[in-house]
Structure 1
Amino acid sequence: MQSIYELVTLDCQNEHDLEHDLEHKTKFSTPKIFDAKGDLSKRWYIYFSYRNPRTGKLKRMKNIYGKAHRFKTKESRYSVLNLYKRRLLKLLKEGYNPFEDNTKFHSQKLKVISQKSTILQPKQNMNQTVLDSQQPKFDAVDIYQPNSQPKTVLVEGLKKKTGVDELATSKGHAIDEALDRALLLKTNIVSKTTLNDYRSRINQLKKWLKANNKDIIYCNQISKKMVVEFLNYIQLKTSARNRNNYRTVFSSIFQILEDNEIIEKNFISQIKSIKTQPKRNKTYSIREQEAIFEYLEVNDQLLLLYIKFVSYNLLRPIEVCRLRVKDINLEEKKLQVQAKNKILKTKIIPDKLFKELPDLSKMDGELLLFTPDKLCGHWDTELINRRNYFSNRFKTIVKDHFGYNENYGLYSFRHTFITKLYRAMVKNSSPYNAKSELMEITGHTTMTALEKYLRDIDAQLPEDYSNLL
């Protein structure tokens, strides 16, 4: 069954105002504009209802968005939506019925439009300059239609050709090409590591769809139910937390698809996350931490220095792996590193750590601070591989020797030393003042975030309350 929405939003000329009102007890309601109360940050659209022949009641049809969101003023949005509104009303009066097969009606209209091959002519009260700069051009291309030879239709940004276009057809956009395009649009927005994670998860979805929904070809055929089934598959195969991570990635990618009008709505946002119990590395006791440091002093001094950057500078392990010689300011005893929650973070280097650094003044600034063999060198591998290398090295040398399980890791040293700092600070000041000072060291941006972190690692403990018992 062909859709009316393409006919409404296609650009053509010789638009005329309808001169007659709808007859009483019409089959459809008068199309109306939803303007989000003038909020230009939200999507505006046309909506209408059509009488269901089975129930006899008016049923709300799909919203018509068109390209209204591309216009950045209220006047231009109202103008283009009024144009859609008049066009929709005209098509409805000419006999379009969403409850019937409109293939013939749809094809006839497309032929007329393609023969004209013209673009939208704005009314005189619209700003011509704004429209010219915002309105995309359309070229006639051949497009696939069921049980027929390719037909000529208007498709944005494509030139005339024959055959079936893989990305944009009358049925929508092919799944692989659409998802790959969305991933491409994430370039320079998220980090390379995050983009690789997105790509890996999207590829898993592609494989699952091909194996379990072989008839699905176009992106707009993917339904909420299908994605939920895939997420259930991931949850049973791995964990609820991993399932939630997949959902987050899909929501981000499908929002790109919605923003680029490849799909009508990002339904992933309607899928709820599952409540999980987050896992956090446990804190080492003072005795355990000292024993590890003494052991590494003899067995692996490079790994020990790596851990001291986590412990004394309170960096995350992956942040230590990012450090290059040029990030260390020897004169001011500071370092700069790309952090989790900001582009660049500056931190002081405590004297306790600074004294252990070699002379870096004559080193090439592009050298990585930590490599497998030495301090300051070249290491041609991805960031995630560098982080994983030191995690595995720590497991082999420390965890296996001391018998620590998966609850302990390199991150545990950050928890350990933040706990040390807080308990030392709170001895001579109020908890609030201690937290305020600690925020400057840890890099937490809000007091609420720091307090939650301290609770999670059990850094905040009450005084002995025996007298109250």
Structure 2
Amino acid sequence: MNDYGGDLSKRWYIVFYALNPDTGKLEMGKRQWCPAKLKTVTARRNWGKLRCQQINHLLTGGYVFDFTPAKPANPDPVTTSLVNNQLSKPATLLDAMERFVTLRERTHRNRTHQTNAGTVARWKQFCAHLKETMGLDLSLKALEPPTTAEINAFSDYIIQARACSNRTRNNLIADLRTLTNGLAERGWLPENCFPKWTRLVEDPSRIHDVYTPEQQRTLTEWLQANDHRLYFLTQFVYYGFLRPIELTRLRVRDVDLANNQIKIHRSDAKGGRKSVGYEVIVINHQLQVAIDKMQLHLAQPNDYVFGKDLLTCDVSILRNRVSERHAKALKGAELYNGELTLYGWKHTGVCNAYRAGADIMWIQKQLRHASLDDTQIYLRSLGLTPPERIRVEW
């Protein structure tokens, strides 16, 4: 097995030789490549040991490999299909949207792809509804932008037939416009062809409430006594203004202690693209204390900071498992009310930092907002009115 001296940046493989019955000579068999999902030296060597045993068992048992020269490879059907998708123009609007969503899957983060795919699925349901109730098959609509009447009918369907909220309706139509603009970029539709539409008033929601000082103290004490790993995670959310979903993707190598910063790859961030670099978060003193206690310097660079069971390891954890664990902590601390959440630690950290006198431009950079206006809108949504300050300990 070629392990390149334990270098994990290279692709390890096993090479072996078998007797060619036609020539009576030993000839090299097909290389056995180590799976890329194995990220540690131990895991790769364990795989290599087991695979070598299997190959040796076959060879000693008289297994003969096919040494017939390979025929010239046919054109890759996947590549051919992609080229055809690029050059051929779809026949219908629905076909164009489905094809566009598939093409964006590898260039946009998974959450964005799921949102786009969900929007197209709702549009297909709408087409089926029209066909069933009116005999109009909108799925056969030619490749042209939706009309104002069709968008209004879609809006009515989402609210009346599907019983969705105004917010859901607004998000679906906004995403339809995004897809339509993407079709225009490919030359399949004219520019700025999506009809004008009006956003409906959205009901205010009370999710991710900010913790009061007493609630924060009570839950922190409970976590320190009962769930240290979840306590460390809340410190990242509270002091780093990190979203829980970003923490489930954070690797040890992204915690740059030498430069006192955390790198969040934009493919893992809200609205990020896979092709764009990374965003940076400053590690303050309080967060540094938590990181030191976690002893991340002893972990492998590719390990998840918060992996399975919130341990630092090479197996990731689902975002929902983290929220469920935090909900149990709230119940254990007798604070569960359906409004306090894991995400609420981020809002609480921002509020306390602002009231403690943190510069609004620093808050903007730490939140990774594109503009100061975004930060001011965010602060106002939390009940903070710049530049009023209330000095508190952060």
Range class of TM-score, shorter chain? 0.5 to 0.7
Alignment equivalent of 1:234, drawn from 150, 158, 175:
158
Is the counterpart of residue 284 in structure 1 residue 284 in structure 2? no
For CA contacts below 8 A with separation 6 or more, give which structure has more relative contact order. 2
Letter aligned with residue 155 of structure 2: L
Q: 1:368 aligns to what?
A: 304
Distance 1:378 1:327, change over 3 A: same
Alignment equivalent of 2:141, drawn from 218, 224, 242:
218
Is the counterpart of residue 392 in structure 1 residue 324 in structure 2? yes
Letter aligned with residue 181 of structure 1: R
Q: 1:257 aligns to what?
A: 183
1:391-437 deviation per Cα after TM superposition (whole angstroms, max 9, x unaligned): 222123315753433432122111212221222217xxxxxxx3244
Confirm or deny: 8 A CA contact 2:218 2:333 kept in the other structure.
no
1:217-265 deviation per Cα after TM superposition (whole angstroms, max 9, x unaligned): 1344754323322222223412111111101111111223334454457
Is the counterpart of residue 405 in structure 1 residue 337 in structure 2? yes
1:144-194 deviation per Cα after TM superposition (whole angstroms, max 9, x unaligned): xxxxxxxxxxxx956xxxxxxxx75xxxx1354322212134345432210
State the secondary structure of the residue aligned to 2:373: helix
Letter aligned with residue 240 of structure 1: N
Is the counterpart of residue 345 in structure 1 residue 279 in structure 2? yes
Is the counterpart of residue 332 in structure 1 residue 332 in structure 2? no
Q: 2:227 aligns to what?
A: 300
Letter aligned with residue 252 of structure 1: T
Confirm or deny: 8 A CA contact 1:219 1:262 kept in the other structure.
no
CA distance in 1: counterparts of 2:105 and 2:197, whole angstroms: 25
State the secondary structure of the residue aligned to 2:120: helix
> What is the CA distance between 1:449 and its match in structure 2?
2.3
1:15-41 deviation per Cα after TM superposition (whole angstroms, max 9, x unaligned): xxxxxxxxxxxxxxxxxxxxxxxxxxx
> What is the CA distance between 1:215 and its match in structure 2?
2.7
CA distance in 2: counterparts of 1:332 and 1:254, whole angstroms: 42
CA distance in 2: counterparts of 1:412 and 1:240, whole angstroms: 24
Letter aligned with residue 158 of structure 2: I
CA distance in 1: counterparts of 2:186 and 2:375, whole angstroms: 38
Question: How high is the TM-score relative to the length of structure 1?
Answer: 0.55
Confirm or deny: 8 A CA contact 1:282 1:407 kept in the other structure.
yes
List gaps (5 residues or longer) in structure 2.
Answer: 1-85
State the secondary structure of the residue aligned to 2:280: strand
State the secondary structure of the residue aligned to 1:332: coil
1:31-81 deviation per Cα after TM superposition (whole angstroms, max 9, x unaligned): xxxxxxxxxxxxxxxxxxxxxxxxxxxxxxxxxxxxxxxxxxxxxxxxxxx
State the secondary structure of the residue aligned to 1:335: strand
CA distance in 2: counterparts of 1:388 and 1:410, whole angstroms: 11
Is the counterpart of residue 450 in structure 1 residue 382 in structure 2? no
Q: 2:313 aligns to what?
A: 377
Larger radius of gyration: 1
Q: 1:415 aligns to what?
A: 347
> What is the CA distance between 1:323 and its match in structure 2?
0.7
> What is the CA distance between 1:287 and its match in structure 2?
0.8
CA distance in 2: counterparts of 1:209 and 1:304, whole angstroms: 48
Distance 1:331 1:220, change over 3 A: closer
Confirm or deny: 8 A CA contact 1:314 1:417 kept in the other structure.
yes
CA distance in 1: counterparts of 2:333 and 2:218, whole angstroms: 11
1:354-413 deviation per Cα after TM superposition (whole angstroms, max 9, x unaligned): 2233332342222111123242123357xxxx2222122212331575343343212211
> What is the CA distance between 1:298 and its match in structure 2?
2.0
> What is the CA distance between 1:310 and its match in structure 2?
0.3
CA distance in 2: counterparts of 1:219 and 1:377, whole angstroms: 51
Letter aligned with residue 273 of structure 1: R
CA distance in 1: counterparts of 2:137 and 2:363, whole angstroms: 57
State the secondary structure of the residue aligned to 2:290: coil
CA distance in 1: counterparts of 2:350 and 2:288, whole angstroms: 19
> What is the CA distance between 1:455 and its match in structure 2?
1.9
> What is the CA distance between 1:457 and its match in structure 2?
1.0
CA distance in 1: counterparts of 2:128 and 2:174, whole angstroms: 22
Letter aligned with residue 110 of structure 2: K
Q: 1:356 aligns to what?
A: 290
State the secondary structure of the residue aligned to 2:184: helix
State the secondary structure of the residue aligned to 1:346: strand
Say how many residue pairs are matched.
286
1:187-202 to 2 correspondences below 5 Å: 187-202=105-120
CA distance in 2: counterparts of 1:380 and 1:176, whole angstroms: 36
CA distance in 1: counterparts of 2:96 and 2:370, whole angstroms: 37
Q: 1:204 aligns to what?
A: 122
1:64-103 to 2 correspondences below 5 Å: none
CA distance in 1: counterparts of 2:375 and 2:234, whole angstroms: 22
Q: What do you get for the CA RMSD once the two structures are aligned?
A: 2.9
List gaps (5 residues or longer) in structure 1.
Answer: 1-155, 159-166, 427-433, 465-469
Letter aligned with residue 394 of structure 1: H
Confirm or deny: 8 A CA contact 1:247 1:268 kept in the other structure.
no
Q: 1:184 aligns to what?
A: 102
Q: 2:384 aligns to what?
A: 459
Letter aligned with residue 408 of structure 1: L
Letter aligned with residue 458 of structure 1: G
Letter aligned with residue 424 of structure 1: A
Distance 1:265 1:209, change over 3 A: farther
Q: 2:241 aligns to what?
A: 314
Confirm or deny: 8 A CA contact 2:126 2:157 kept in the other structure.
no
CA distance in 2: counterparts of 1:361 and 1:246, whole angstroms: 44
